[in-house]
Amino acid sequence: MNSTPHLDRDLFSADEIRERVEAIAGEIARDFDGGDFLAIALLKGSFVFTADLIRALARHGLHPVVDFLALSSYGAETTSCGTVTLRHELSLPVTGQRVLLIDDILDTGLTLQTACQMLARQGAAEIRTCVLLDKPSRRVAPITADYTGFKIGDVFVVGYGLDYNNRYRHLPGLATLRFYGPPGGA
């Protein structure tokens, strides 16, 4: 068990995030070249990022169909348990589709790798991946995202849709969370 969490320091402000989301949308627009595609958001953490990204994509003339997939490798703790389970299925067929897979954060990489494998098995024609945050030092699965907002160190981050125990998702920016208390928790 972890001890009491506290917001530690601001990592990226709402303005900095907005700027990066616009830049990523520009990169995606160049690569997808105006064609149709399916944007798949990995719930729950990516819902705020996805909401901003699809509207930034619209400003670049792209209007993907949006669907949601929920995989989970986390309980109430801050480290991945290594098994990824399906919590919510896609509602649309992906066979033959170009897919932009969107997640909040690339940590060990197991979630994104599992999602890519599932979409490939379901016959996606092409899969590109987009993450707001990347923690390269934590990688277990050999995967890199095609589009990345920010690279960060080994810290636990909340805000802008990312939670700890389903809290902090409302924060407009991204902040690190620190755990205080006796070693091993109480």
Q: Catalogue the active-site residues.
A: 107
Residue 129 as a binder of ligand 5GP (CB under 6 A): the answer is no
State which residue, 52 or 62, has the beta carbon closest to ligand 5GP: 52
Site for ligand 5GP (CB under 6 A): which residue of 107, 134, 145, 160?
A: 107
Angle, vertex CA 89, rays to CA 92 and CA 99, nearest 5: 50
Residue 64 as a binder of Mg ion (CB under 5 A): the answer is no
Residue 159 as a binder of Mg ion (CB under 5 A): the answer is no
Residue of 60, 59, 150 lying closest to 104 (CA atoms) = 150
**What is the pattern of x (binds ligand 5GP, CB under 6 A) and - over residues 27-66?**
------------------x---------------------
The Cα 146–Cα 8 span in angstroms is 30
The Cα 118–Cα 27 span in angstroms is 25
φ/ψ of 80, rounded to 5, equals: -65, 140
State which residue, 18 or 139, has the beta carbon closest to ligand 5GP: 139
Residue at 158: amino acid letter: V
Helix (H, G, I), strand (E, B) or coil at 15: helix
| Residues lying near ligand 5GP in the complex (CB under 6 A) | 45, 73-74, 80, 103-112, 156-158, 162-164
| Residues lying near Mg ion in the complex (CB under 5 A) | 45
